[in-house]
A and B are shown apart, each in its own frame.
Chain A
């Protein structure tokens, strides 16, 4: 790996993956909805604006209304912000934790590595979704407890990944040179090695956002969502019992999750292709 090359090169490689372009377009759309949506569609998504159980493709409520007469479109627009927020913040927390533990373990090796890896193993052994449920249930469902729970069950793979990178990178000459020059460990970890390990972390992170959104929706489905936040998972969770009479209530938010997660996955693959040219696949 030769490190980051020019942005143009990066874009050239990214562009070769057609799926990644589509994914990026969808993701930009979702991000725009999250950022601008509440301005373009002002109002409160919780307002019981119309009659309940209104079918979609109606001029007033294009995506229909839910069991209490809330506008599904409003919910999806406002929910984009919550779902993405949970996805990104949880991922950021998980990646941070994973990077710190993984780099320390990989850099120092020996006993520290052994201890940290046992610790990681420990978290990988507990079935993660069960653990997430317990955490959210214990700390009462709120956006903070959901983010924390997702982060706590998601960091181990990152830690392992970073550790692996560090194990190979620390034997490289440029690292050895820094050691000889008497640089501090912190400097070597964060300035010398980490930037070289950043590509796989970014790829893993982009996929983790997708997983985080899926976990949040599953928690909400089981009734462990934040009751004050209109998220897509909440919309499906509260509509799942009416699935048979009112498909649209869970269909549209489900579609929103599907598209967003799909986009994140495609972007992740594109990033992978662009950042790890070694692995570029053919036939795209």
Chain B
């Protein structure tokens, strides 16, 4: 979709809504209405700066805002910043902020808040934002509505780091000089967003109400949003079916229920709104241990995995088969890489070559697989993997644990194989390179290069690509990275995840950007029927 960069947010969202099947909304949106959404699991806190969990991002995304938002093809859109400029040398970023923006407590929002957030707050608390903000040599506010970032060296992905969960802007007058994690204000979040926290009944629901002082005049349209905590997947389906809730996202609705819900007349299905996160699931090999340290073994495993089966039977047709380390919605993706179709013969041949012969029981080698602790679907994936690899003589023992147990094993390199799923965060330099570069092999740190892959050429290319300025040059480097990695199979990329978002048709303009349900919902409105 050829989207121009300076479209107004409203025009852009209207354009994006023209999905096939969605009736175009001719009338002017009207005020009023209450949206009831599912939230699962319950967020630990609504202070988005100290928790980067998805549920927190979804709810707090209505309360806190960042400088930018991103379209579904990952072009920056105005947020708290109405416009921005990047200098020719790629080192100076100037953001011009909206005027007359107020915090929920009535205090004015100014450039000083942005400076505080970028130079102090995020660097202290935010593990994902910290390395990005540290690239700034100086952050200054020449006037109340202008912020200038002077980077130490060019870093093109810098413009992709300004969505609410990556860089939420927090009020300086509340947080400066306090303990950010313990500040009592974390219980009563103060943001600039279109909705304010009214009440949070733990275990039951979160009630947000309209911010009457919101800086976009006339918005938001909704009076209130309820987030219902529904831990049971069956209950969530019933809630959507009966209209008790109007919105579900991410893994709220299990994949096998999608075809049935899709057919219901009052619900609309979209898989848009996850482009920024761009989650991918892969099979991770601990490269320190045999036989995983042998490329032939990893290729054999890759050839033995029927990824059509994974997509069609486990994810019920949702998702795209991954071709390599970069998600196809992320910039610099290149499809021109070696392919690993299902090929059991080739797989067995590679294992034979390695000298892993089948024993009397038909088993060549035994490995342990740690299942991802993020829900039933990953258990099914583990069960499938076990069966698929059994066909070529690799006996897999599945180990399940909860998030803490799994995280501890993986970050301390105490595993053989595991599945992983991770977001790519809008740019390979933000979400992909961290998994393959040698300098990010850090014991004890989850989502680093845990499997210990190291390749000097890859290190060099990722390093150069991040600071390069010339687009063609950047693309060439990322293309080479993808070709090398796919040949090497440091991990077996399985699927680019697509999540079903179900929207009750009474509501319009729900998904208007690449950050989807985590966006601020200022444009969501209800149609009277």
The chain A residues found within 8 Å of chain B, CB to CB, are: 44, 46-48, 52-53, 67-69, 137, 140-142, 223, 227-228, 238, 240-245
Contacts and interface: CB of A to CB of B under 8 A. Distances in A.
Given A243-B234, A244-B237, A245-B256, A68 B399 contact: no
Given A68-B314, A227-B398, A53 B256 contact: yes
A229 B435 CA distance: 33
Interface stretch (B40-48, B400-408, B521-529): B400-408
Nearest to A225: B400
A223 B379 CA distance: 9
A141 B400 contact: yes
Interface in B386-433: 386-387, 390, 397-402, 405
B386 to A, nearest CB: 7
Contacts of A52: 256, 313
Counting from the closest, the 5 A-B pairs by CB-CB distance are A227-B398, A241-B233, A227-B400, A140-B401, A241-B254
Contacts of B397: 228
18 contacts: A44-B387, A46-B386, A67-B380, A68-B314, A68-B383, A140-B399, A140-B405, A141-B400, A142-B399, A223-B376, A223-B379, A227-B379, A227-B383, A227-B399, A227-B400, A240-B234, A241-B256, A245-B256
A53 B313 CA distance: 10
Contact of B384 (A68, A142, A227, A240): A68
Interface of B: 233-234, 237-238, 254, 256-257, 260, 309, 313-314, 371, 376, 379-380, 382-384, 386-387, 390, 397-402, 405
A79 to B, nearest CB: 14
Contacts of A47: 387
A245 B313 contact: no
Contacts of B382: 227
Contacts of B401: 137, 140-141
Contact of B257 (A68, A142, A240, A245): A245
Contacts of B399: 140, 142, 227
A181 B233 CA distance: 67
B406 to A, nearest CB: 10
Contact of B380 (A68, A137, A240): A68
A245 B257 CA distance: 8
Contact of A67 (B256, B309, B400): B256
Contacts of B400: 140-141, 223, 227
A142 B380 CA distance: 17
A242 B234 CA distance: 7
A141 B234 CA distance: 24
A245 B260 contact: yes
B241 to A, nearest CB: 9
Given A69-B313, A140-B401, A241-B234, A46 B383 contact: yes
Nearest to A224: B400
A68 B380 CA distance: 8
Contacts of A245: 256-257, 260
B521 to A, nearest CB: 28
Contacts of B405: 137, 140
A162 to B, nearest CB: 36
Nearest to B388: A48
A142 B405 CA distance: 14
Given A46-B387, A47-B387, A238 B379 contact: yes
A238 B383 CA distance: 11
Contacts of B254: 241-242
A244 B256 contact: no
Nearest to B397: A228
Contacts of A53: 256
A69 B256 CA distance: 13
Given A68-B313, A140-B399, A243-B234, A48 B371 contact: no
Contacts of A141: 400-401
Contacts of B233: 241
- Best-buried of B256, B309, B382 by chain A (most CB within 10 Å): B256
A98 B400 CA distance: 31
B303 to A, nearest CB: 18
Given A47-B387, A227-B382, A241-B233, 13 more contacts: A46-B387, A67-B313, A67-B380, A68-B313, A137-B401, A141-B401, A223-B379, A223-B400, A227-B398, A228-B386, A228-B398, A241-B256, A242-B256
B313 A48 contact: yes
Contacts of B238: 244
A46 B313 CA distance: 14
Nearest to A51: B313
Nearest to B371: A227
